[in-house]
Amino acid sequence: MLEVLIYILHGAATSPFVRKAWIFLKEKELEFEHRQLDPLDKSERFLSMNPLGRIPVLEEADGNLISDSSVICDYLENIHPSPSLYPSDNRDRARALWFEEYADTLLTQVCAQVFWMHIIIPIRSGEPTDQTEVDAFRDKNYPGAFDYLEDMAPDGSGIVNNEFGIADISLASAVRLLDLAGAPLDADRWPRFNDYYQRVINRPSAKSIVDEELFATEVFRTTGEAPQYES
Ligand SMILES: N[C@@H](CCC(=O)N[C@@H](CS)C(=O)NCC(=O)O)C(=O)O
């Protein structure tokens, strides 16, 4: 008899870290269900799932909980090795983890700030997006974040050794915040990286989260809060 493994992925679909775990699960062709979890509502239940109060959290069929997108992806790779999403060569693997780190830190900070300026700050402050402020932020921070990626961008969909995997999933998951903000990356200024990003974000695995992303973005845009889980 075939055993169907069901996971539950907790977290708002606007989060680049939830998106990373989502795309990873899809690329592995694993069955999962998605449940909203507001990262800003530090309820007792949430903190008992992850004491850091951060999303995503992956729940296994027996109730076991795993937090942190990098830990989740590494765990899934180990128990479902095929298709492999990490390079086998040690140097390539280190390089892939480096791009994952770059995506999870600097790139996410820059892209998330733009998402906040367009989607969350206006509804919370009652003032429209200050485009002058956004432009100043972009002028100051985009070259530092994207010039390097423009130099590194591959012709295909794999930034490490031309093989698609964790590095590509992580980078695209962060940059997707700009699309959701309604302020996509300037394709004329960073054409190679943008082409590569488009190839990754148009994979079926990444497209499968779009409805949830748009729903969560709309809830944030109209309420200033994350979507709530309805049991
Ligand atoms: N290193 C963590 C970062 C997770 C993270 O910071 N998630 C954000 C949402 S995008 C969050 O939960 N923020 C809530 C908070 O920090 O209070 C991962 O990779 O999962």
pLDDT at 42 over 60: yes
Q: Spell out the residues 6+ positions from residue 27 whose beta carbon is closer than 8 angstroms to its own.
A: 83, 85, 169, 203, 205
Domain holding 64: CATH number?
Answer: 3.40.30.10
Q: What local confidence, expressed as pLDDT, does residue 20 receive?
A: 98
Q: Confirm whether 111 is domain-assigned.
A: yes
d(C-alpha 179, C-alpha 112), whole Å: 11
Structure tokens at 182: 């309604």
DSSP 165: S
* Tens digits of residue pLDDT in 136-162: 999 999 999 999 999 999 999 999 999
195 and 123 together in one domain:
yes
Q: How far is the CA of 52 from the centre of ligand 1 (A)?
A: 8
- Whether residue 130 sits in one domain with residue 62: no
Q: Over 70: is that where the pLDDT of 1 sits?
A: no
Position 229 scores a pLDDT of 81
Does residue 169 have a pLDDT over 70? yes
Q: Whose CA is nearest to atom 6 of ligand 1?
A: 54
Q: Give the domain CATH number at 165.
A: 1.20.1050.10
Same domain, 116 and 187: yes
Report pLDDT digits (tens) over 82-127. Answer: 999 999 999 999 999 999 999 999 999 999 999 999 999 999 999 9
Sheet holding 31-35, edge to edge: 31-35, 6-10, 57-59, 65-67
Of ligand 1's listed atoms, the one at least distance from the Cα of 68 is 20
Strands (DSSP E) found in 63-110: 65-67
Q: Based on the domain organization, do 130 and 189 belong to the same domain?
A: yes
Task: Give the domain-ending residue among 34, 61, 85.
Answer: 85
Q: Are residues 67 and 103 in the same domain?
A: no
The residue whose two tokens read 């100043």 is 136
Does residue 27 lie within any of the structural domains? yes
Q: Give the pLDDT band of residue 230 (cuts 50, 70, 90).
A: low
Same domain? 81 vs 118 = no
Domain range for residue 199? Answer: 90-207
Does 231 map to a domain?
no
* Confidence bin at 164 (pLDDT 50/70/90): very high
In a domain, 57, yes or no: yes
Task: Identify whether residues 59 and 36 lie together within a single domain.
Answer: yes
- Domain-located, residue 145: yes
Per residue in 181-215, pLDDT tens? 999 999 999 999 999 999 999 999 999 999 999 99
The verdict on 98 and 58 lying in the same domain is no
Number of folded domains in the chain? 2
Q: Which of 54, 83, 81, 84 is nearest to 66 (CA)?
A: 54
Could you tell me if residue 49 is inside a domain? Answer: yes
CA dihedral 165, 168, 171, 172 (to 10 degrees): -110
The alpha carbon torsion through 98, 150, 136, 178 (nearest 10 deg) reads -70
Residue 167 lies in a domain: yes
Among protein residues, the one whose CA lies closest to atom 12 of ligand 1: 54
Percent of the chain past pLDDT 90, that is, above it, reads 96
Q: Token pair of 186, please?
A: 């300037």
pLDDT of residue 3: 57
Q: Please tell me the distance from the alpha carbon of residue 105 to that of residue 117, in angstroms, as a whole number.
A: 18
Considering the domain architecture, whether residues 99 and 161 belong to the same structural domain is answered as yes
Both structure tokens of 2: 């075939």
Output the ligand 1 site: residues, CB below 6 A.
15, 17, 39, 53-56, 68-70, 104
Beta strand extents in the chain (DSSP E only): 6-10, 31-35, 57-59, 65-67
For residues 32 and 212, give the distance between their C-alpha atoms in angstroms, rounded to a whole number: 14
